Amino acid sequence: MAKRYVFRLETLLRLRQQREDEQKRVVASRLRKIRAIEQQRQVLEVRIAEQVDAMRNLLIADQMDVDQLRAGRSWTLRLRRGVLEADGAIAANRTILAQERANLANARKNTKILERLKERQREAFFAEIERQDRAESDDMNVTRFAHAILSEAPERV
């Protein structure tokens, strides 16, 4: 009965695959966070546009309320500050994302190395089995041939 192929480093390979999966989750989480901040920034941009339109309408109106204009201007500045903060958060998260992607690439490389090693060892294992089978078959053929020659030899004499 033929031996079954067993990769001695299978546990390490599974561990590296788990690390790679964890890095994939970290990168996906960071991408979701960046998208959420970008959506928040878009909402702020829409609110700024709405506030600017509201302030223009106040200026067009005959009755000008200075307190309302001042409050509107303050609110617009606060919204713009929020946009700037969102831009900073996006930039910071993209920097972190670059590092996390590098970690993912490194984890993938480590996993790939073991996968290639496993495949090469598997191929070598089956090549050795094939070599042993050929050697055994050759031995059996030599034995049959020798037996056939020896069984014909007494008749020739």
Does residue 48 sit within a domain?
A: yes
Does residue 80 sit within a domain?
A: yes
In the predicted structure, residue 156 carries a pLDDT above the cut 60: no
- pLDDT value at residue 154: 62
In the predicted structure, residue 105 carries a pLDDT above the cut 80: yes
What's the average model confidence in pLDDT over 26-40? 97
- pLDDT value at residue 147: 83
User: Which of the residue ranges 3-12, 127-136, 143-152 has the most confident prediction, judged by mean pLDDT?
Assistant: 127-136
Give the Cα-Cα-Cα angle 116, 122, 128 (nearest 5 degrees). Answer: 135
In the predicted structure, residue 127 carries a pLDDT above the cut 80: yes
Task: Give the confidence band of 81 by pLDDT, cuts at 50, 70, 90.
Answer: very high
- pLDDT value at residue 32: 98
What's the average model confidence in pLDDT over 118-146? 91
Domain region containing 104: 10-117
Read off the CATH number of the domain in which 38 is found: 1.10.287.1700
| Overall number of domains in the chain | 1
Half-sphere exposure at residue 97, Cβ-oriented, CA atoms within 13 angstroms? 15
Does residue 81 sit within a domain?
A: yes
Does residue 145 sit within a domain?
A: no
114 in Cβ contact with 16 (< 8 Å)? yes
Burial tier of 104 (Cβ tally within 10 Å: 0-12, 13-18, 19+): buried
- Tokens 């020659």 belong to residue: 149
Does residue 35 sit within a domain?
A: yes
- Helix-helix angle 66-156:10-60, to 10 degrees: 160
79 in Cβ contact with 51 (< 8 Å)? yes
Does residue 100 sit within a domain?
A: yes
Task: Give the confidence band of 153 by pLDDT, cuts at 50, 70, 90.
Answer: low
Read off the pTM: 0.73
- pLDDT value at residue 2: 60
Does residue 36 sit within a domain?
A: yes
Does residue 17 sit within a domain?
A: yes
Residue predicted with more confidence, 154 or 54: 54
